[in-house]
Amino acid sequence: MIRRIGVITRDCAGVNAALRSVVRTAASHGVEVYGVIKGYDGLIDGVLRLLDRRSVSGIINLGGTILKSARSERFLREEGQKKALKTIEENKLDGLVVIGGNGSLTGAHVLASQYGIKVIGVPATIDNDVNGVDRCLGADTAVNVALDALDKIRDTATSLERIFVVEVMGRDCGYLAMKVALAGGCEEVILPEQDFDMTEICREIRTGNAQGKVSWIIIVAEGKARAQDVATAISLLTGLETRIAVLGHIQRGGRPTAIDRLLGAKLGNAAVEALLAGETDKCVSLKCDESIELIPLSVAIQPKKLVFEPEYRLLKVLS
Ligand code: F6P
């Protein structure tokens, strides 16, 4: 019987929408929700806050997480996990919803598989690299935030006839880079999933330049190369003026898009319903924007293999 649950969050757009949905879905079933402050560190230290329907008012449009978050080194060790278990027992939590990316979901899998805690995960990461999940919370907002920045960079690239190399986040996954490059009308993208040939890229730039093409935007995924190294190589091999922009953490913040708010509402609701139905050690996912699926956490935390060749080919045709 589930009477009281805890909820742990990472930060990215759409997480607050999911939290609101968790709290209000639980309330509709008469289940109490405790928010864990600062992720797994808060679970270890027993820092929890009772969340009622009103405490999640006015947060659907906010980026980040109102519960705060942390990358917990302590939870990686058994000592930390045992302390977290003690908090769960002392606070009589019958289950947990964990909203986050691979690190958070790996922690959720440890709690479920090694300590028998009932846990459901909600995939939330701008990297969109949770295995088996089409769309993670935060990814759509991150693409849109990066696109907005890119549009501004394009103004300068065009006006000053320059080459720009723009580095985007994504850890080891090229999702953000590929989507931003294609949606932003960029000339090239360098992805962790594909080899790239600097000499060939520079040959294309020189040929284009000779035909009157004067501005280029090249997206680099942080998991493959550094913008500065790519820019230095381009300047050296083409003799053309090159600038860089590293977008960094602006991609993880910002007002969630409608897609991320809707996803948060649906996944938060599905996570609570799954816990109430007796499910555990799984993560909720929205398949083709329609139906909810439950994916074993042991599968969700495996490396995700994405293929970008068709989108890359399209980018080259259109650039
Ligand atoms: O996993 C999300 C992410 O934003 C990655 O894209 C990035 O590499 C990393 O986190 C940055 O981590 P931190 O915020 O700890 O510097």
Match domain 143-253 to its CATH number in 3.10.580.10, 3.40.1160.10, 3.40.50.2000, 3.40.50.460: 3.40.50.460
Asked if 271 and 97 touch (Cβ cutoff 8 Å), the reply is yes
CATH annotation of 4-138+256-300: 3.40.50.450
Reply yes or no on whether 127 is catalytic: yes
Check pocket membership of 49 for ligand 1, CB cut-off 6 A: no
- Atom 9 in ligand 1: residue holding the nearest Cα: 171
Which pLDDT value is given to residue 290? 86
* CATH topology identical between 4-138+256-300 and 143-253: yes
275-312 pLDDT, tens digit per residue, is 999 999 999 999 988 899 999 999 999 999 999 999 99
Binning pLDDT at 50, 70 and 90, where does residue 273 land?
very high
Counting from 1 in the atom list of ligand 1, the atom nearest the Cα of 176 is 6
Strand order across the beta sheet in which 48-51 lies: 48-51, 32-36, 4-9, 95-100, 119-123, 282-287, 291-296
Check pocket membership of 169 for ligand 1, CB cut-off 6 A: yes
204-262 pLDDT, tens digit per residue, is 999 999 999 989 999 999 999 999 999 999 999 999 999 999 999 999 999 999 999 99
Check pocket membership of 10 for ligand 1, CB cut-off 6 A: no
Q: Over range 86-97, report the average pLDDT.
A: 98
Q: What residues contact 221, with CB distance under 8 A and at least 6 apart?
A: 167, 168, 170, 173, 174, 176, 177, 178, 189, 190, 191, 192
Domain boundaries, the chain: 4-138+256-300, 143-253
Query: Is the model's pLDDT at 129 over the cut of 90?
Result: yes
Which pLDDT value is given to residue 304? 96
Which pLDDT value is given to residue 278? 98
Q: Which of 11, 41, 127, 140 is catalytic?
A: 127
Ligand 1 pocket mutation pick from 40, 105, 106, 169 by most atoms within 8 angstroms of CB? 169
Counting from 1 in the atom list of ligand 1, the atom nearest the Cα of 129 is 1
From the CA of 222, how far away is ligand 1's center (Å)? 10
Which pLDDT value is given to residue 214? 86
Which pLDDT value is given to residue 161? 86
Which pLDDT value is given to residue 160? 86
Binning pLDDT at 50, 70 and 90, where does residue 128 land?
very high
Quote the crossing angle between the two packed helices 139-160 and 258-276, to the nearest 10°. Answer: 160
Residue that has been written with the tokens 């995960």 in this structure: 121
Asked if 284 and 291 touch (Cβ cutoff 8 Å), the reply is no
Residue predicted with more confidence, 158 or 13: 13
Mean per-residue pLDDT of the chain: 97
Which pLDDT value is given to residue 148? 97
Q: Over range 21-41, report the average pLDDT.
A: 98
Query: Is the model's pLDDT at 144 over the cut of 90?
Result: yes
Which pLDDT value is given to residue 67? 98
pTM for this structure? 0.97
From the CA of 126, how far away is ligand 1's center (Å)? 9
- Atom 15 in ligand 1: residue holding the nearest Cα: 71
From the CA of 18, how far away is ligand 1's center (Å)? 20
169-189 pLDDT, tens digit per residue, is 999 999 999 999 999 999 999
**How many other CB atoms are found less than 10 A from the CB of residue 195?**
7
Rg of the chain (C-alpha set): 22
Query: Is the model's pLDDT at 125 over the cut of 90?
Result: yes
Q: What is the DSSP string of 18-32?
A: HHHHHHHHHHHTT-E
Q: Over range 15-32, report the average pLDDT.
A: 98
